[in-house]
Structure 1
Amino acid sequence: MVKLYLSLAAASGMLAVILGAFGAHGLRDKLSAELFSAYQTGVQYHFYHTLALLAVALLLEKYPLNMWLKTSGGLLLAGILMFSGSLYLLALGGPRWLGPITPMGGLCFIVAWACLLMAVVKA
């Protein structure tokens, strides 16, 4: 699980840089201010939660059986996909039905942080 989460964090970080650069250099003049802001929010949350996933992976090295940590990592990944992914797609003209997915991703982030808190309390 440690190697998996480390690999996913590395890939997610790389993707966040690529998408951030694409937004800054390829989309700034093509999107409205509102859509560009939504895209940038996706990039910011993508980065923040990639770093959190990296921390979870490193903590799993010390606490490999901690289910709170494992759950936190899975929820961080789900949150990145749903929150940031939906914002990226909406900014690029994706279907409007993606809008309700964004808050579900945000909820995944909140619960992931709560699981991380539980992992620390229970350790």
Structure 2
Amino acid sequence: MHKTFLIWAALLGALAVILGAFGAHKLKELVPPETVSTFQTGVTYQFYHVFALLAVGILYAHTPGPQLVWAGRLFLAGILLFSGSLYVLTLLKATETVGLRGIGAITPIGGLAFIAGWVCLLLGILKK
């Protein structure tokens, strides 16, 4: 399981660099500054949780347990839901698409997944 988390961390880390570069160089030509800020928030939180996922993978290799598995799963879900929803909101703004603005309601669910992931990580560390 730890190798899976490490692979996801590497892939999502590379994606965060790509998205961060896009946000810093091209996105400001397509959307207003507040939307660029929203996008950057997604990239920032993705980076934070890539490092958390790396920690889970490394810790799991030494002290495996279900709490660490759940921490990794929740960090992945949080990246998808929190950062992913912010990327989609930015895309909708850039394409001036109407109708799917409710996607922003998913963002807090991703935030809760991040919090739950940190709690599971703590429980996994305290287990031994």
Greater Cα offset, 90-99 or 2-11 = 90-99
Tell me the TM-score normalised to structure 2 length. Answer: 0.92
Question: 2:55: which partner in 1?
Answer: 55
Question: 1:76: which partner in 2?
Answer: 75
Question: 2:113: which partner in 1?
Answer: 108
- What do the CA deviations read for 1:37-77 (whole angstroms, capped 9, x no partner)? 1000000000000000000000010012x100000000000
Gaps of 5+ in 2: none
Question: 1:26: which partner in 2?
Answer: 26
Letter in 2 for 1:76: F
Tell me the TM-score normalised to structure 1 length. Answer: 0.96
Distance in 2, matches of 1:27 and 1:86, equals 16
Q: CA RMSD in A?
A: 0.9
**What aligned pairs does 1:4-23 form with structure 2 within 5 A after superposition?**
4-23=4-23
Distance in 1, matches of 2:125 and 2:57, equals 14
Pairwise CA distance, 1:29: 2.4
Distance in 2, matches of 1:28 and 1:22, equals 9
1:120 paired with 2:125, answer yes
Distance in 2, matches of 1:23 and 1:78, equals 22
Pairwise CA distance, 1:97: 1.8
Distance in 2, matches of 1:121 and 1:28, equals 44
Structure 1's consecutive aligned runs of 4 or more residues displaced over 2 angstroms after TM superposition are: none
Distance in 2, matches of 1:26 and 1:89, equals 16
